[in-house]
Amino acid sequence: MSAMPPMPAGAGPSLGPQSASFIYQHVHDMSSKRVSTLGYLRKVHEGRVYWFNTVHFSRHDLMRMPYFDPKRLSRRAINFLLLGLSLPPILDAHSTPMEYLRALHALLVEFETFQQVHNPDGNFSSNLVRARLPQMFKRATYTGNKTRRASSANEIGLPIHFSDSSDVKAMTGNLASSATAASAVTSFPNTDSSDLLPGEEYTYLLTPSLPFDPDFFETFVTLCDVLIDCYNRLTGLISSPAVCTTALGELFTKTDAKLRKVMVAGVVRDFEDASRSSAKSEIGGVSRVVLGGLLG
């Protein structure tokens, strides 16, 4: 029996039905696991369940963890809010799994960069957020390929007729005086860049102006809901193994790893440390009671 000839250099195995089925199953299994994890973290932050049936953490207990340091919590809440605001456009804009994963991965890369620049461990004043109050209703600049164009009143079906040119002058004069009065009353610094550094630009990450510091717990719970929708959207796009390729599987693995790093890694570590500490404390109390009864 003659031996099979060696495979040429650079030639890899083609993606067969078995590989496609494996990728399909892997994506759906991991997505289901992440949905369950996010739902569980949401319930723990709301104080609705015991941490793995061991310790119940109230809001007061959570605030004593290093992860929930009030000095860092404000910046972390802002970062999570920006991520949550940036996800819905990706959910609605892409109809193929590859495009969807590319956009989601690019957003997470930008968010990772944003967190490195605006680190929750840094010293950020909430006054910088409140100072952007006059800018909260300004239209954000779209950095994608398509550009927005201003529409006139005639284009949207609202004809404007003036009987006399004096009407136009009166209208513009009133608007100018109103704008001057408003600018005189509210003199805030121009921080429309949302505290972005010079040259700091993002394509997928939205950085709108925030007039106040968001509540971390409400923001975290809402972000969990949005990320659950992201995984459900992905499994809906990957409806059969026919659309699964090696590139799609690799991109899913990278994207899932970044999401896990953002939402799971730091939170779970602190919860595990706090649960161990609470368990040791309770066991120590029980031991003292038992030993006291035996020795008494």
Would 99 be classed as within a structural domain? yes
* Residues 175, 176, 178, 182, CA torsion sign: positive
For the segment 275-282, the average pLDDT, to the nearest whole number, is 78
d(CA 123, CA 169) in angstroms, rounded, equals 50
Q: Which residue has the higher pLDDT, 42 or 188?
A: 42
Is the confidence at residue 205, as pLDDT, over 90?
A: yes
Query: Which structural domain, as residue segments, surrounds residue 106?
Result: 17-124+214-295
Top-confidence residue, 138 or 270: 270
Distance CA 225, CA 138 (A): 27
53: left (phi over 0), alpha (psi -120 to 50) or beta: left
Instruction: Name the more confident of 22 and 166.
Output: 22
| Backbone phi, psi, residue 56, to 5° | -100, 125
Q: Is residue 278 part of a domain?
A: yes
Whole-model pTM: value is: 0.66
Exposed, middle or buried, 142 (CB in 10 Å: 0-12/13-18/19+)?
Answer: exposed
In a domain, 163, yes or no: no
Half-sphere exposure of 267 (CA within 13 A, CB side): 22
Residue 50's contacts (CB-CB under 8 Å, 6 or more residues apart) are 56
Strand, helix or coil at 55? strand
H or E element in which residue 50 lies: strand 50-51
Query: What's residue 296's pLDDT?
Result: 55
Region 74-84: mean pLDDT is 92
Average pLDDT rounded to a whole number, residues 24-32: 95
- Cα 36 from Cα 224, distance rounded (Å): 10
User: How high does pLDDT run on average in the chain?
Assistant: 73
Beta-bridge mates of residue 51: 55
Number of domains in the chain: 1
What is the phi/psi pair of residue 51, to 5°? -70, 105
Q: Is residue 268 part of a domain?
A: yes
208 assigned to some structural domain:
no
Would you say residue 260 lies in a domain?
A: yes
User: CA nearest 110: which of 207, 231, 215, 238?
Assistant: 207
Q: What is the pLDDT of residues 83-104, one digit of tens each?
A: 999 999 999 888 899 999 999 9
139 within domain boundaries: no
* Within-domain flag for 288: yes
Q: Are strands 50-51 and 55-56 parallel, antiparallel or unpaired?
A: antiparallel
